[in-house]
Structure 1
Amino acid sequence: MKISLSPATPEAWSGSVLALGIPQDDPQGLLEAMEQRFNIQLKEWLKQKPFTGKSGDLASLQLLRGDCTTLVLLGLGEAGSIERDSLRMAAAAAARAAQGQGGSLGLLLPWGSVDLIADATAAAEAVRLALYSDLRFRSKPEPSPRPEQVELLGQWPTGLKQTLETVHPICAGVELARELVAAPPNSVTPEELARTAAALAHEHGLELTVLEQSDCEERGMGSYLSVCQGSDMAPKFIHLTYRPSGVAKKRLVLVGKGLTFDSGGYNLKVGAAQIDMMKFDMGGSASVFGAMRSIAELRPAGVEVHMVVAACENMINGSAVHPGDIVTASNGTTIEINNTDAEGRLTLADALVYASKLKPDAIVDLATLTGACVVALGDEIAGLWTPDDALSSDLETAASDAGEGLWRMPMHSSYRKGLKSLLADMKNTGPRPGGSITAALFLKEFVDAGIPWAHIDIAGTVWSDKGRGMNPSGATGYGVRTLVNWVMKQASTAEA
């Protein structure tokens, strides 16, 4: 699918589907212009729908003409309060309305309501991501035709030819994350994640190190290795590195939780825990894989980016870790495992110790870590924990620009007492109240003092049962665009 900018007006554009964003009261008179062009009583027809231009309104009219087969009208709300998210939602709706018709889609929205280039890029991403479908596991896939060409209509200033150059690499990263999360656990195993990393390294010139179980044992990663004791799948500790062509003035580390399946261990997931969905417990690793795929193609200058994933399964057999076992992380911290279903933080503990040894300027980890975060923030907003105000501000801005919900949560140090153990240095879980806070405080213990660090809990945002905006139902690829935006901003400041 080719996405381009076009100076054509809606009165002159020809193709398959013409989609127009209509604010309430239609201040530009687009409805009247379409009445004249197509010689139809459009306003009268819309009264029957009804279509008033409210945000989320959509009306589709089959024209059966050679110069335009379908007219799609997209409500945008009040003209003076249109935000970039409104444009994203409208662009995604236009894409879905055009699906199945093939040909070309012409899309006109009020570009420049926020920022001309950013608006166009956001809409282009929304169109592509809304049309994503995963047919890999169908025996007889029946793909629905999608537009071969998308033209963003508008009066574009000269010199914007490269405006949409970031769309493909960023969307390709999101799509990779979606594919990894959606795939069944017998398809995406720790070994398969390592193979995916090898493919990225080969295709995009990245450096790859994979630590096998014996390597991890030598490094004292007892916390991580305890999680996979009951699995027949060997763990894979994956370290992928992007290095810029010039001097790297900043070093960043992206850490992703990589549980390719989580049974809960002997604290088995039962009842409403949806054990069949625990394939998405590697959503954090999928996000950082996707981000690295995008970054590798965008090739930002001045910044070195590392990806660290401690991949494994949490399963049950006679060798599985017991509730009550005490293990030792690679920094020497002893941990009493009072809940084997709080396994993600055990893998992240050794991953964060490893990340700290890289002496980075910042570490950001993403993890489907706690149900408590889902209870607090639902499925559209991820939780952010960090003691660093500047890092928090940068990540919140990156998420806002990406249209991904992110909310900073408290990290009261007094909650740390909930992790006290009678025997070991700490337990892996605290009391149920404030569970997402104690989880973040647990992780903080494994980051070297002085390194800016942030933890993002994506347990609610990694999957969507109903779909929303540019996210079809299923895996969302949440976090890729936030991380890419953050890295690109760090690169620009490093070069300044």
Structure 2
Amino acid sequence: MTIQPSDKPLLEWAGDSLAIGLFEDAVELTGELATLDQKFSGVLKELIAEEEFKGKANSSIFTRVNPGSPVRKLILVGLGKPDELKLDTLRRAAAAVARVGKKQKSKILGFSFPLWNNDPAASAQAIAEGVELALYQDIRFKSEPEDKAQIETVDLLGFGGQEAAIARAKQIVSGVNLARELVAAPANAVTPITLAETAQAIAKDHGLQVKILEREDCEKLGMGAFLGVAQASELPPKFIHLTYKPEGTPKRKLAIIGKGVTFDSGGLNIKGAGSGIETMKIDMGGAAAILGAAKAIAQIKPDVEVHFISAVAENMISGRAMHPGDILTASNGKTIEVNNTDAEGRLTLADALVYADKLGLDAIVDLATLTGANVIALGEDIAGLYTPDDAVASQLEKAAQTSGEKIWRMPMEEKYFEGLKSGIADMKNTGPRPGGSITAALFLKQFVKDTPWAHLDIAGPVWTDKENGYDSAGATGYGVRTLVNWVEGSGE
């Protein structure tokens, strides 16, 4: 599929389907739209009246145009109130149009959308992202393709000269789709071994540096927390360190850490009926996000050095499994009493954070499908942001707003750490049930000494059970767009 900017006047465009964005309570046809309506024998005005179309956000209608017309079908999509227009409004509207266009078997699709904030580049990028995200299909595990109808060309009318913005959208979406594929793939396809191979492939294809630490390397570094989680699996753990370095002196040096548990059985605290164990292939959603971000950032080439880190393992059951009550020693010397083997993600992140903290960075962000408590607090669409650093929090909030990915800053209530204290070790790996997502973040905080740090709990938005905006049911690739925006904006 080709998405291209076009300077062709609206009244002269020809193709299968023409999509027009209209604001709420402003659907009166004037100027160019009135002329277009006359050209199509009043079909626009008639459609608006018959369907009682008000232009509300997330609404769309379509109709066939008279035979012989240069346009076969017209699609109207609501953009909400003009003063509430956001980039994500355009992104979601474009996604809705793309889905309608595909269902109507349109090969050539045209967009006539307004600008956000008088910014043609940002607007074109958002529209292109919406189209690309909505039309993504994961058919790797299907014996036969389900739908052969494809959109071939998308024209963005009035966006002449925005080739770079459209190219950037494609680069970012390539990273989102990689993350989607990694999360959606079953645990017998995405293992610690294949995830490390994915990192190596990204490095080879895009000129990044890569280091894969094997079990012996991790033992030498004292990564007892990570290796405790990995010890029951028949598959070896892999510690991934992928590095992007710009030409010249970087403005900043950052690290992004992703939880990489490729399957979580719960360990000896095994997940029982109703626990969602069959979905635990998604427990490497953080690792998927950082690899997707690495792929996108390597193509965009910002002037920021970025380290992508993941301690990857399975949490399994065997005669070698760590027991409830075991004491593990992390690579910073902190001792941890394991009172729940199903709180394994924070153990792998602990050693990854210690490793990153020694790299002399300006900031660290980790992403993890860490707690069900965060889903209870914020629902399935919103990630929790936990950090003691206001500057990093502000950067991430701004990056998320631009990307359309939702985050909400949560409190770091220090007194809750009392619930993690152990009588025989420095801390336990879980605390009381109340405030479980906060105590998880406070646990992670113990493994960052010198670097500004933030934790994103993405347990909710990493997966959706139904079509949601530009996401089809399944893996969302959550976090990639926010990470890319954060990396690019953090040097300001």
Residue of structure 1 in register with 2:365 after alignment: 364
Paired residue type of 1:87: L
Paired residue type of 2:12: A
Q: Does 1:116 align with 2:120?
A: yes
1:327-338 mapped onto 2 (5 Å cutoff): 327-338=328-339
Paired residue type of 2:229: V
**Structure 2 portions without partners, runs of 5+:** none
- Pairwise CA distance, 1:31: 5.7
How many residues were matched structurally?
488
Post-superposition CA distance 1:368-403 (Å, at most 9, x none):
000011011111111101111111001100000101
Q: Does 1:98 align with 2:101?
A: yes
Paired residue type of 1:70: K
Residue of structure 1 in register with 2:344 after alignment: 343
Choose from 58, 61, 85 the match for 2:60.
58
- Bigger mean CA offset, 117-126 vs 337-346: 117-126
Paired residue type of 2:378: L
Task: Report if aligned partners of 1:31, 1:43 keep a CA contact under 8 Å in 2.
Answer: no
Task: Report if aligned partners of 2:5, 2:159 keep a CA contact under 8 Å in 1.
Answer: no
Task: Report if aligned partners of 1:339, 1:428 keep a CA contact under 8 Å in 2.
Answer: yes
Paired residue type of 2:141: F
Residue of structure 2 in register with 1:197 after alignment: 199
Residue of structure 1 in register with 2:421 after alignment: 420
- Pairwise CA distance, 1:114: 5.8
Residue of structure 1 in register with 2:21 after alignment: 21
Distance in 2 separating the partners of 1:291 and 1:102: 32
Task: Report if aligned partners of 2:87, 2:116 keep a CA contact under 8 Å in 1.
Answer: no
Residue of structure 1 in register with 2:90 after alignment: 87
1:248-263 mapped onto 2 (5 Å cutoff): 248-263=250-265
- Pairwise CA distance, 1:179: 0.4
Distance in 2 separating the partners of 1:225 and 1:114: 52
TM normalised by structure 1 equals: 0.95
Post-superposition CA distance 1:316-371 (Å, at most 9, x none):
11111111111110111110000111000000000001111111111000000000
Distance in 2 separating the partners of 1:351 and 1:113: 40
Moved over 4 A (4+): none
- Pairwise CA distance, 1:113: 4.1
- Pairwise CA distance, 1:232: 0.9
Residue of structure 2 in register with 1:75 after alignment: 78
Post-superposition CA distance 1:261-287 (Å, at most 9, x none):
001111111232211110000000000
Q: Does 1:478 align with 2:478?
A: yes
Distance in 2 separating the partners of 1:328 and 1:407: 32
Task: Report if aligned partners of 2:47, 2:63 keep a CA contact under 8 Å in 1.
Answer: no
Residue of structure 2 in register with 1:467 after alignment: 467
Task: Report if aligned partners of 2:187, 2:262 keep a CA contact under 8 Å in 1.
Answer: yes
- Pairwise CA distance, 1:28: 5.3
Distance in 2 separating the partners of 1:41 and 1:204: 50
Sort the Cα spacing of 1:17 and 1:426 in 2 relative to 1 into closer, same or farther, 3 A.
same
Task: Report if aligned partners of 1:173, 1:290 keep a CA contact under 8 Å in 2.
Answer: yes
Choose from 265, 275, 283 the match for 2:285.
283
Distance in 1 separating the partners of 2:26 and 2:398: 32
Paired residue type of 2:16: S
Q: Does 1:296 align with 2:298?
A: yes
Q: Does 1:429 align with 2:430?
A: yes
- Pairwise CA distance, 1:145: 2.4
SS of 1:162's equivalent in the other structure is helix
- Pairwise CA distance, 1:251: 1.1
Distance in 2 separating the partners of 1:112 and 1:436: 36
TM normalised by structure 2 equals: 0.96
Q: Does 1:405 align with 2:409?
A: no
Residue of structure 2 in register with 1:107 after alignment: 111
Post-superposition CA distance 1:401-430 (Å, at most 9, x none):
101101111001111111000111000001
Paired residue type of 2:425: A
- Pairwise CA distance, 1:27: 5.0
Distance in 2 separating the partners of 1:429 and 1:378: 21
Distance in 2 separating the partners of 1:27 and 1:87: 20
Choose from 137, 157, 171 the match for 1:153.
157
Choose from 130, 136, 139 the match for 1:135.
139
Task: Report if aligned partners of 2:124, 2:159 keep a CA contact under 8 Å in 1.
Answer: no
Residue of structure 1 in register with 2:244 after alignment: 242
Distance in 2 separating the partners of 1:181 and 1:155: 34
- Bigger mean CA offset, 50-59 vs 402-411: 50-59
Task: Report if aligned partners of 1:125, 1:167 keep a CA contact under 8 Å in 2.
Answer: yes
Choose from 185, 188, 194 the match for 1:186.
188
Task: Report if aligned partners of 1:190, 1:235 keep a CA contact under 8 Å in 2.
Answer: yes
Distance in 2 separating the partners of 1:320 and 1:349: 19
Paired residue type of 2:363: A
SS of 1:276's equivalent in the other structure is helix
Distance in 2 separating the partners of 1:106 and 1:422: 66
Task: Report if aligned partners of 2:88, 2:402 keep a CA contact under 8 Å in 1.
Answer: no
- Pairwise CA distance, 1:45: 3.6
- Pairwise CA distance, 1:183: 0.3
Residue of structure 2 in register with 1:381 after alignment: 382
- Bigger mean CA offset, 87-96 vs 43-52: 43-52
Task: Report if aligned partners of 2:208, 2:244 keep a CA contact under 8 Å in 1.
Answer: yes
- Pairwise CA distance, 1:489: 1.4
1:305-320 mapped onto 2 (5 Å cutoff): 305-320=306-321
Post-superposition CA distance 1:189-228 (Å, at most 9, x none):
0000011011011101111110111111111111001112
Distance in 2 separating the partners of 1:160 and 1:34: 25
Post-superposition CA distance 1:454-489 (Å, at most 9, x none):
000000010011121111111001100100011111
Sort the Cα spacing of 1:143 and 1:484 in 2 relative to 1 into closer, same or farther, 3 A.
same
Distance in 1 separating the partners of 2:313 and 2:462: 19
Residue of structure 2 in register with 1:165 after alignment: 167
Task: Report if aligned partners of 1:382, 1:406 keep a CA contact under 8 Å in 2.
Answer: yes
SS of 1:176's equivalent in the other structure is helix
Distance in 2 separating the partners of 1:87 and 1:74: 10
- Pairwise CA distance, 1:19: 0.6
- Bigger mean CA offset, 100-109 vs 408-417: 100-109
- Bigger mean CA offset, 111-120 vs 411-420: 111-120
Task: Report if aligned partners of 1:84, 1:114 keep a CA contact under 8 Å in 2.
Answer: no
Sort the Cα spacing of 1:329 and 1:65 in 2 relative to 1 into closer, same or farther, 3 A.
farther
- Bigger mean CA offset, 391-400 vs 164-173: 164-173
Paired residue type of 1:462: V
Q: Does 1:455 align with 2:464?
A: no
Task: Report if aligned partners of 1:111, 1:154 keep a CA contact under 8 Å in 2.
Answer: no
Distance in 1 separating the partners of 2:45 and 2:69: 22
Paired residue type of 2:190: V
Task: Report if aligned partners of 1:181, 1:286 keep a CA contact under 8 Å in 2.
Answer: yes
- Bigger mean CA offset, 249-258 vs 98-107: 98-107
Residue of structure 2 in register with 1:354 after alignment: 355
